[in-house]
Structure 1
Amino acid sequence: MQLELAIQKRYEQGGRRFALDIEFGCDTQRLVLLGPSGSGKSLTLKAIAGLMTPDAGRIRLGGRTLFDAARGVALPARARKMGYLFQDYALLPHLTVRQNVAFGVAGSRWFNPSRRVRAPEAERWIEAFGLGALADAYPHTLSGGQRQRAALARALAAKPEALLLDEPFAALDAPLRAHMRAELGELLAQTGIPLILISHDPDDATAFGDTVFTLADGRLARQGAA
């Protein structure tokens, strides 16, 4: 995964000012952005995904220009082909697990899959994550780990060019965190999908960080988790 990023973004809200000014490049399969809350990790991930537009700079992934302020390039999120896993998983509450995963295949936020739909790509990931027995369940009936697996299945069903994970294990207890790290690691090894993960937990950097960048106050503090 070749990623080149140099972006700036300024915020001012409620008397608080924050400036994101970050530049880095990497050429590894798994990138971890590590840092405390408020360091700029989520803003950086959203900029890559197309969910936030920087004031200036550029983003290139795999040779594709996703954003270049000087050239007026800003691909919409849907054109970037990213699988984005929000920290709260963002499953659609009115849809079953099967429908949520099929929604990922459809690639449109206006698509409302039927309960009877059996999209092959959705079924593949439902089985891969051991969700077959829960396919007709609704998100509110699932445990945290089950919701995470459903959200990952939905993200991967869209055949993304990269998987972007926002604090994916923060809401899980310690034993489940360890289990889900191992499960995700095996999945990534099988699929070969590049990963960009943000976290405040050094254990995530150890587990997934081919390259680790540490952020602080909107800037790159250092390379490496230590």
Structure 2
Amino acid sequence: MKRGIGVAGLAALGGCAWAAGCAAPAAVTVMPVRLQKLSPASPLLHEFRPTACYAWVNDADQLCVGMNVRKRAFRTAFDREEFHLSLVLGPPPAGEGRTYVVTEQTVRARTRDGLTHTRFASVEGVALAWKDGPRRLSGRFQFRGIEQSYLVVLGWTNTRQILCVGEFKARWDRERGEPILRHTENDGMARDQNPHPRLAPRPNEGKATSGRIPGSGVN
């Protein structure tokens, strides 16, 4: 579900995952921005391949997309792998397609790898969506965002910048898509309550235990 790749994987940022034969309906690549220190062992990129992807129009006439993947080899907490991402874009595309401005409200995501939890939200970027026949919606996006990790003692902390790109082929299905969106907004990540996440915590906010993006004012 998730794998770290090195410098050679940078080529994937501009490529279409299914063009190389991948059957997954979506592909998302996340790159942590490390401008002060690099580890010789840590992956430069993280790649996710959601196995489910749905599109729908909500009651506010906004185009929404939800995608996820869950893997569990031995049914223990240590081998659970999950990725959930949602987008709320704006009015649905008319005609061939529509370009959207990505803001702080657009993207929410959560990941789990064993006992390691992360979450991220968009800050700014661009997205494109177009109708792909009567039953599907295709799209792609790229944005700058923020990511946090969860530590049992400290809570949500270790705020850092990320770059994220992705592509998807979604099936129209509101009933299956909305639970994914709700999951990504859990624990202080609701779009209407978290309008402007900050890129770095203030002094003394490193021990955040409230389960919120530091500086958002949301518990």
TM-score by length of 2: 0.23
Greater fraction of residues in strand: 2
Greater fraction of residues in helix: 1
TM-score by length of 1: 0.23
User: Which gives a bigger RCO, structure 1 or 2 (Cα 8 Å, sep 6+)?
Assistant: 1
